[in-house]
Chain A
Amino acid sequence: MILNQISVMIGGEAGAGIARSGFLFAKTCMRGGLHVFGTNDYQSLIRGGHNFYIVRADAEEIYSQADTIDLLLALNQETILLHRNELTHGGGIIYDGEEVELSEDEMGINNVRLYPVPLKSMVKELEARPIMRNTVALGAAIGLLNFDLKIFNGIIKDTFKEEIAKINIAAAKMGFDYACDFSRDQFIGDFEYHLKKTKGSRKKHLFIAGNEAVGLGAIQAGCKFYSAYPMTPATPILHFLAEHERDYGMIVIHAESEISAINMVAGASYAGVRAMTATSGGGFCLMTEGLGMTGMTETPVVIVLTQRTGPSTGLPTYTSQGDLRFAIHASQGEFPRVVIAPGDMEECFYKTMEAFNLAEKYQIPAIIITDKFLAESYSSVKSFDLNRIGIDRGLLSTQLEYAGKEAYQRHKLTGDGISLRIMPGTKGAIVRTNADEHDESGYTTEDPALTVEMADKRFKKLNALIKDLENYETTKFFGPKEAEVTILGWGSTKGPIREAMKLLNKEESRSNYLQILCLCPFPVANVQGVLDSAKLTVVVENNRTSQLSGLIRENLLRDVDHKILKYDGRQFNPQDLSQKIQEVL
């Protein structure tokens, strides 16, 4: 028996409620005390096409999906044909036996258990909508796994209104009973995988997606204005914040374009509130002029760039790390910015809070760069520590009256380049800023000496920022100090890398890993330190040109030994990645 260690896939047509079912199953595992990771795969269409959701659950801590599937809930035949080769030996398929005829011979693989369940007929019997087939299948899976249906029912009750909850609970019970019967009569002890509630079920965990963690971080950081235009995979942040705007006294506005969004956000920030927008590559292209304006006018904003596969529209619903250089260099001219790449859901929360602090302290744009894999995957995490990151608004005066002796100047030249920021509407002060080069009072200038002084002022802030970043976690190191290979990565590759390390380091300490969280300004000293003691280096990235290797070259004047790159729109799988690393050893 394999207890509390499973990878389950739910697959079917788009529009069949696949993601929702995956979510419910994953949460059931989490409440049962297991660590859970859930990730979805869907195409850019609304109906038809093929969707699937993978839930991995384990008694141990896990960081990503697995390479293979132990139990497949197939809501149509296509799902089986597409994924049969990913099944483990001894894996099982729950499917509608009245709709799909399957034999091991036909499937071309053996050692797979077939569990036909009359999903459609049961839904008919219940007089429920066809989409309820999912719930029947989930019930059957829970039965087959010898798991606890009560936990599932609890989640249904928390998720749906009473009427809908009732029918879902009935549907799940039907599937559950059928499977239990099934196991008794025909397949006693046949399926090796079992799930059992653990002691962990008493601890409070969250089941959260990267996008939600970013949104939650923004709320906690006191973001009061969010404007965005829908674009996958950033859209869920808009949905999340819009749902909560009234409870948290914030304004969420669905703008007419990303150009509008970034300018609205700049206006709100100039007025004095914390403000954020989020988009993906195409929308970020439209924001670039506005981004430069925030740099020039020293208006703090937070921009979330959730990458997807490019160039252009590319693969709208798939993942990539192709926009790193773009984030660092976007917009004309030169101005300081900070680019932060969280690698998991917890970092999405804490780093978003930090981004607001950094943006305001240095009066610069802060870019949070994530990707589809991180943004839309879910994982179970320890509930957040709400006191870890405080609120630091830097040199912002919230006084209603200006007390200074001299007339207020928004862009006053100072030792560290940071000028006192006050809100327009403060009595006795005029707050003037300007996207044209300007003097200390914000009036337009074309004077060459002043142009230099102002550019230098903005870059003095960069020096201060670099110094301050020593107090922040700009890199994280994992694994043994000494290892055969040092892996370098940023962003969402963190999960698969940590899983691959589990495999590599099983017997001996073969690998360690440096995660780079702050990509701009680049944490030179930290990376240098690790590279100095590394025997062999390998960069792991979801792009074609290894942009991180380029950054290392640029900042440290050295090359990495190997690059493992994946740019098919899909994240790395742990086993596959560990093999690739093995190959370079």
Chain B
Amino acid sequence: MVTLEDLRTPKKNTWCPGCGNFGILRAFTSALVQLGVEKDQVVIVSGIGCHGKMVNYVDVNGFHGIHGRVLPLATGIELTKPSLTVVGFAGDADCYDEGWGHFSHAIRRNIDMTLIVHDNMVLGLTTGQTTATSQKGFKTKSTPHGSIASPLNPVMHALVSNGTFVARGYSGDVKHLTSLIVEAIKHEGFSFIDVFQPCVTFNYLNTFDWYKARVYKLQEEGHDVTDRQMALKKSMEWGERIPIGIFYQEESPSYRESLPQIKDINLTETSIENIDIDPILQSMT
């Protein structure tokens, strides 16, 4: 069984002190320990941004890919080797700006993986510009007069894309986030967690205090996770009170389960010697 110590890497952490990313790192590693998985059976995939450093900080298999492409990269891994636990870590710009096109598609395919978005509502690594989730009026170097566009609502989008596990966490509540990650990894199909991750350096608006005053837990208020309509209603709640927790969950066959030739086979273990193409050749004569 893996321990927190096992999951540590020798890499020096370069996140700003107090950054919300630490909470996600702690929650993820704690979740792996709780799940009792073997660390060599876990693959993490990350995009480019502060969040992307996750691959350097957790000692499991990892692919630090390019900006915005966490989902297709993880899809390729998951489909060919289902025995692996595949978890993607993306940034809000990474997933909701550069990679937005992949988001709905991974959800509607119901790829059996977990996606954790470090949603700090800012481009961290490029020194603080506006992203798809930045609040209207948010002033940054790229929007000195305030962001004009209205923010995307990723949770709502996941719900209308027929997401089978849709959740939101807050990195200031590591215990709660850990339990969400545990449930997400256990879920068969695409699990999505948008995580409020305060960027202490560039996001002056959505701070720990800001969230603390607003977030409440859906599961403490008797929310029915099987009711998509109610989940949609909850996903629109924004302002004085903002819900976190599991919005919606259902059992539905994953993409792979609909491929009779694959199902639970690790394609990596099938022999590629002596493939018989004669039937196709015959059809061409």
User: Which residues of A does B touch, CB under 8 Å?
Assistant: 31, 158, 204-208, 212, 216, 219-222, 224-225, 227, 244-251, 253, 255-257, 259-261, 263-275, 289-290, 293, 297, 383-384, 386, 391, 398, 423-436, 438, 442-444
The reply to whether A430 and B83 form a contact with Cβ atoms under 8 Å apart is no
Mask for B249-285, Cβ within 8 A of A = 1, else 0?
A: 0000000000111100111111011010101110111
How distant is A211 from chain B, measured CB to nearest CB, in Å? 13
The reply to whether B101 and A273 form a contact with Cβ atoms under 8 Å apart is no
CB-CB < 8 A to B63: which residues of A? 267, 270, 297, 432-434
Q: A221-B272, A425-B81 are in contact. Are A430 and B59 (CB under 8 A)?
A: yes
In the docked arrangement, what's the CA distance between A436 and B262, Å? 33
The residue from B9, B74, B80, B281 contacting A251, defined by CB atoms under 8 A apart:
B80
The residue from A204, A225, A248 contacting B275, defined by CB atoms under 8 A apart:
A248
The reply to whether B53 and A383 form a contact with Cβ atoms under 8 Å apart is no
CB-CB < 8 A to B59: which residues of A? 430
CB-CB < 8 A to B224: which residues of A? none
How distant is B132 from chain A, measured CB to nearest CB, in Å? 17
CB-CB < 8 A to A255: which residues of B? 72, 105
In the docked arrangement, what's the CA distance between A273 and B265, Å? 13
CB-CB < 8 A to B10: which residues of A? 443
In the docked arrangement, what's the CA distance between A272 and B74, Å? 13
User: Which residues of B does A touch, CB under 8 Å?
Assistant: 9-11, 38-41, 43, 45, 48, 53, 55-56, 59-66, 69, 71-81, 83-84, 101-102, 105, 259-262, 265-270, 272-273, 275, 277, 279-281, 283-285
The residue from B11, B72, B268 contacting A263, defined by CB atoms under 8 A apart:
B72
The reply to whether A423 and B268 form a contact with Cβ atoms under 8 Å apart is yes
Closest to A256 in B: B105
The reply to whether B105 and A424 form a contact with Cβ atoms under 8 Å apart is no
The reply to whether A225 and B55 form a contact with Cβ atoms under 8 Å apart is no
Q: A204-B285, A384-B281 are in contact. Are A271 and B39 (CB under 8 A)?
A: no
How distant is A35 from chain B, measured CB to nearest CB, in Å? 14
The reply to whether A206 and B284 form a contact with Cβ atoms under 8 Å apart is yes
How distant is A9 from chain B, measured CB to nearest CB, in Å? 23
Closest to A221 in B: B272
In the docked arrangement, what's the CA distance between A428 and B53, Å? 23
Q: A207-B284, A430-B61 are in contact. Are A268 and B79 (CB under 8 A)?
A: yes
In the docked arrangement, what's the CA distance between A433 and B53, Å? 12
In the docked arrangement, what's the CA distance between A306 and B137, Å? 47
The reply to whether A265 and B272 form a contact with Cβ atoms under 8 Å apart is no
The residue from A247, A290, A424, A444 contacting B64, defined by CB atoms under 8 A apart:
A444
In the docked arrangement, what's the CA distance between A444 and B73, Å? 18
The reply to whether B77 and A424 form a contact with Cβ atoms under 8 Å apart is yes
In the docked arrangement, what's the CA distance between A406 and B45, Å? 24
The residue from B61, B275, B285 contacting A424, defined by CB atoms under 8 A apart:
B61
The reply to whether A272 and B262 form a contact with Cβ atoms under 8 Å apart is no
In the docked arrangement, what's the CA distance between A200 and B238, Å? 77
The reply to whether B76 and A424 form a contact with Cβ atoms under 8 Å apart is no
How distant is B96 from chain A, measured CB to nearest CB, in Å? 16
The reply to whether B61 and A267 form a contact with Cβ atoms under 8 Å apart is no
The reply to whether A264 and B277 form a contact with Cβ atoms under 8 Å apart is no
The reply to whether A268 and B76 form a contact with Cβ atoms under 8 Å apart is yes
A220-B277, A386-B277 are known; give 18 further A-B pairs, CB within 8 A. Answer: A207-B284, A207-B285, A224-B272, A247-B261, A249-B267, A251-B79, A251-B261, A260-B71, A260-B105, A263-B66, A265-B76, A266-B73, A267-B72, A391-B273, A425-B268, A430-B40, A432-B62, A435-B64
The reply to whether A293 and B262 form a contact with Cβ atoms under 8 Å apart is no
Closest to B255 in A: A253
In the docked arrangement, what's the CA distance between A270 and B81, Å? 10
The reply to whether B80 and A273 form a contact with Cβ atoms under 8 Å apart is yes
How distant is B269 from chain A, measured CB to nearest CB, in Å? 8
Q: A225-B80, A272-B268, A444-B64 are in contact. Are A424 and B43 (CB under 8 A)?
A: yes
The reply to whether B272 and A263 form a contact with Cβ atoms under 8 Å apart is no
The reply to whether A443 and B101 form a contact with Cβ atoms under 8 Å apart is no
A to B CB contacts below 8 Å, 27 in the list? A205-B285, A206-B285, A208-B284, A220-B275, A221-B272, A225-B79, A246-B260, A248-B275, A249-B267, A251-B262, A260-B102, A263-B66, A264-B72, A267-B75, A271-B80, A272-B268, A274-B272, A293-B65, A383-B281, A425-B43, A425-B266, A430-B39, A432-B55, A432-B64, A434-B64, A435-B64, A442-B62
The reply to whether A216 and B277 form a contact with Cβ atoms under 8 Å apart is yes
How distant is B38 from chain A, measured CB to nearest CB, in Å? 8
How distant is A444 from chain B, measured CB to nearest CB, in Å? 5
Main secondary structure of the interface of A (DSSP, over half): mixed
Nearest 4 A/B pairs, CB to CB: A267-B76, A222-B272, A272-B268, A263-B72
The reply to whether B73 and A273 form a contact with Cβ atoms under 8 Å apart is no
The reply to whether B45 and A443 form a contact with Cβ atoms under 8 Å apart is no
Counting chain A CB atoms within 10 Å of each CB, the highest count among B45, B266, B277, B283 belongs to B277
In the docked arrangement, what's the CA distance between A427 and B78, Å? 18
CB-CB < 8 A to B40: which residues of A? 424-430
Closest to A402 in B: B40
The reply to whether A436 and B277 form a contact with Cβ atoms under 8 Å apart is no
The reply to whether B275 and A212 form a contact with Cβ atoms under 8 Å apart is no
The reply to whether A256 and B102 form a contact with Cβ atoms under 8 Å apart is yes
CB-CB < 8 A to B74: which residues of A? 267
CB-CB < 8 A to B275: which residues of A? 219-220, 222, 248
CB-CB < 8 A to A268: which residues of B? 76-77, 79-80
In the docked arrangement, what's the CA distance between A208 and B260, Å? 28
The reply to whether A227 and B80 form a contact with Cβ atoms under 8 Å apart is no
CB-CB < 8 A to B43: which residues of A? 271, 424-425
Closest to A296 in B: B66
CB-CB < 8 A to A443: which residues of B? 9-11, 56
In the docked arrangement, what's the CA distance between A264 and B65, Å? 11
CB-CB < 8 A to A207: which residues of B? 284-285
The reply to whether A270 and B262 form a contact with Cβ atoms under 8 Å apart is no
The reply to whether A270 and B77 form a contact with Cβ atoms under 8 Å apart is yes
Q: A227-B76, A436-B64 are in contact. Are A249 and B284 (CB under 8 A)?
A: no
Closest to A378 in B: B284
CB-CB < 8 A to B101: which residues of A? 256-257, 259-260
The reply to whether B268 and A267 form a contact with Cβ atoms under 8 Å apart is no
Closest to A299 in B: B63
CB-CB < 8 A to B72: which residues of A? 227, 255, 259-261, 263-264, 267
CB-CB < 8 A to A289: which residues of B? 66
In the docked arrangement, what's the CA distance between A434 and B38, Å? 22
How distant is A524 from chain B, measured CB to nearest CB, in Å? 33
In the docked arrangement, what's the CA distance between A248 and B260, Å? 11
In the docked arrangement, what's the CA distance between A44 and B66, Å? 34
CB-CB < 8 A to B262: which residues of A? 249, 251
The reply to whether B84 and A425 form a contact with Cβ atoms under 8 Å apart is yes
The residue from B41, B45, B62, B105 contacting A267, defined by CB atoms under 8 A apart:
B45
Closest to A436 in B: B64
CB-CB < 8 A to A225: which residues of B? 76, 79-80, 267
CB-CB < 8 A to B71: which residues of A? 260
In the docked arrangement, what's the CA distance between A224 and B77, Å? 12
CB-CB < 8 A to B102: which residues of A? 256, 260
The reply to whether B80 and A263 form a contact with Cβ atoms under 8 Å apart is no
The reply to whether B73 and A263 form a contact with Cβ atoms under 8 Å apart is yes
How distant is A231 from chain B, measured CB to nearest CB, in Å? 16
In the docked arrangement, what's the CA distance between A308 and B77, Å? 32
Q: A245-B261, A263-B72, A273-B268 are in contact. Are A425 and B61 (CB under 8 A)?
A: yes
Closest to B79 in A: A251
Counting chain B CB atoms within 10 Å of each CB, the highest count among A212, A264, A297, A398 belongs to A264
In the docked arrangement, what's the CA distance between A216 and B278, Å? 10
Counting chain B CB atoms within 10 Å of each CB, the highest count among A31, A383, A443 belongs to A443
In the docked arrangement, what's the CA distance between A265 and B77, Å? 9
CB-CB < 8 A to A247: which residues of B? 261, 279
In the docked arrangement, what's the CA distance between A250 and B10, Å? 38
The residue from A220, A257, A267, A426 contacting B73, defined by CB atoms under 8 A apart:
A267
